[in-house]
Structure 1
Amino acid sequence: MFPINLLSIIAVTGFLLLMFTCKGEAQQTDSPQSVTVMVGEDVVLPCFLKPPKDASQMTVEWGRPDLKPRFVFVNLDGEEYSADQNEAFRGRSSMIPENLKHGDVSLKLSDVRISDSGRYRCYFPREKKEYFTELVVGSASSPGASLSGLDVSSSGVMLDCSAAGWYPEPEMFWLDGDGNIMSAGAAEKSTDPDGVYTVSSRVSLSKKSRHRRHQDVDQGCDERESLLSTLNKVKTELENQKHQLAEKLREIESERKKNKEELQSVETKTTDSQSSDDTESLLKEKEKLLQTQWKLDEIKKNIERQLLNIEKALEPIEIQITEK
């Protein structure tokens, strides 16, 4: 029979691998941009006036067309206007004042919630210009496995696995000691008022099923070695992912450093420029560099988040291997 703590580890790993495939990166294109963030984090939704010019005294509306009232944050002639602001964003939305003079009117959302997911519009009413950003919010937690009782009909045992606080809708699966997906009943799923999922699943381990899974294995093979092999496979997979992410992080850090140096150079040239044409050209170049810097920062945060999750998954696995 498989130890409950091992099944829990495998379930955790399955959830982590699923979470990695669901994550995305911010896309900087002419079409609506997409930004991904986890619940509870802060996020910046990019918006840059084109061509770039001082927006500190302009009127800028950030809104969600699906909300009533639709206003998330309004900068009215250089002052925050909160009379018609949606209550869900009061105290959580803002713009960065020092960036406005460069045409950067990006929106910062703090303590992000599942309900923040949606399509945001950055709108300049006097200029009749608008830009859209899609915000995707995710949530995850570690599942837990436990012994739920005896299965009298099969002379076996029943195991439960459950996890709460997931978004978007997750899939749950069980792995046996050989790393194969086990047959289990349909997972039960429910949502809270914010649309966050709680999912649970039950699997029955019978003597017959255990014999069938191992009938082609040498009877003299110790089951403990099979479990240890599974743990090592999972550990190797996670370590490979960790190595790949670490390499990517080093590349991103190098790009961020280079982009930052270019940005500082352009800012110096802009300050020293005596020609309006040169200044406009430099501001356009600065806008591109700022967008690149923002994208690289988002990618960096995403990689660091994944590395942290891998470390959390590796810790109990290494403990199990040591005990074996």
Structure 2
Amino acid sequence: SRMISLNNGFPLKYPLMSFSTLVFQCESQEVGSSQTVTALVGEDVILPCLLEPAADVVSKSLEWGRLDLEPRFVHVWHEGQNLLVNQNSAYRGRTSLSTEKLKHGDLSLSLSALKHSDNGQYRCYFPSQGKTSTVELLVGSVSSPVIVEININSSIVVLQCESKGWYPKPELLWLDAEGKILSAGPTETVRGPDDLYTVSSRRHSNNITCRVQQSNINQTRETKIKVTGDCLTHEIIISRRGFK
């Protein structure tokens, strides 16, 4: 594991809590490096935080928080038990720590039923050494593209592809039968009052794929369309893949 320098944290604001017995340690402990976690709305995630070297911290105290919120507390553990009296209400009933993992220096936080409002930077704070680590959580949403308008005459086919409810902002591509990117009319992107994105674009063709993708959350949705005479068939493809 790569060792890093970490910033000092902020003291926990619980009047009945004292960390004076925790500050005298024989070994210096550092929390693992910062990273980004991506997931979709409704999913569950683990926000990682590991002590290096590993140590049993069940009897210690730790805080998961978001400094952009008030109160900032996402989950607090104190001397063998959860201490959630000042937990931010947005996280009530959705967070947990594993006692078994804490025995091995794993401070990772489980967060369930993700929402767009969960997007942000989370701080894992181990006060006995004033050490912190951060995790950036990116919660996305996707939908399959659909053909919302089709005009067919004897010589031309006009296809309009639209996909709603994306986050973050996606890109829309047209592909030919061989998978090559095609030029098309300008992509229209609309951000709704819910901060979700709708993208649409038109293309003249009769055998084509409309692809909407978002590389930050490693998500792709495709609809394949084939027009033969007056007959249209389409196939929806859902894939989750990594982007280089």
Asked if these proteins are the same fold (TM beyond 0.5), I'd say: yes
Q: Which has the larger radius of gyration?
A: 1
| Structure 1 residue 149: Cα displacement | 5.8
Pick aligned residue for 2:132 from 124, 130, 133:
130
Pick aligned residue for 2:65 from 63, 66, 74:
63
Look up the match of 2:167.
Answer: 167
Pick aligned residue for 1:103 from 102, 105, 121:
105
Look up the match of 1:45.
Answer: 47
Matching residue's letter, 2:169: E
TM-score for the superposition, normalised by structure 2: 0.65
CA distance in 2, matches of 1:186, 1:99: 48
Look up the match of 2:12.
Answer: none
Look up the match of 1:272.
Answer: none
| Structure 1 residue 156: Cα displacement | 6.1
SS of the residue 1:172 aligns to: strand
Deviation beyond 6 Å, 4+ runs, structure 1 = none
Which runs of 5 or more residues in structure 1 are unaligned? 1-26, 211-222, 235-301
Q: 1:72-120 CA distances to partner (integer Å, 9 max, x unpaired)?
A: 1011222212221111111111111221111211101111222222211
TM-score for the superposition, normalised by structure 1: 0.50
Look up the match of 1:114.
Answer: 116
Look up the match of 2:143.
Answer: 141
Look up the match of 1:285.
Answer: none
Q: 1:10-40 CA distances to partner (integer Å, 9 max, x unpaired)?
A: xxxxxxxxxxxxxxxxx97744122222222
Which runs of 5 or more residues in structure 2 are unaligned? 5-32, 211-216, 227-232, 235-244
| Identical columns (%) | 42
Greater share of helix: 1
Look up the match of 2:29.
Answer: none
CA distance in 2, matches of 1:45, 1:64: 13
Closer/same/farther in 2, CA of residues 51 and 137 from structure 1, 3 Å limit:
same
Q: How many residues align?
A: 192
Look up the match of 1:198.
Answer: 198
CA distance in 2, matches of 1:93, 1:137: 16
CA distance in 2, matches of 1:138, 1:43: 13
Matching residue's letter, 1:61: E
| Structure 1 residue 167: Cα displacement | 1.4
Look up the match of 1:215.
Answer: none
Output the aligned Cα RMSD: 3.7
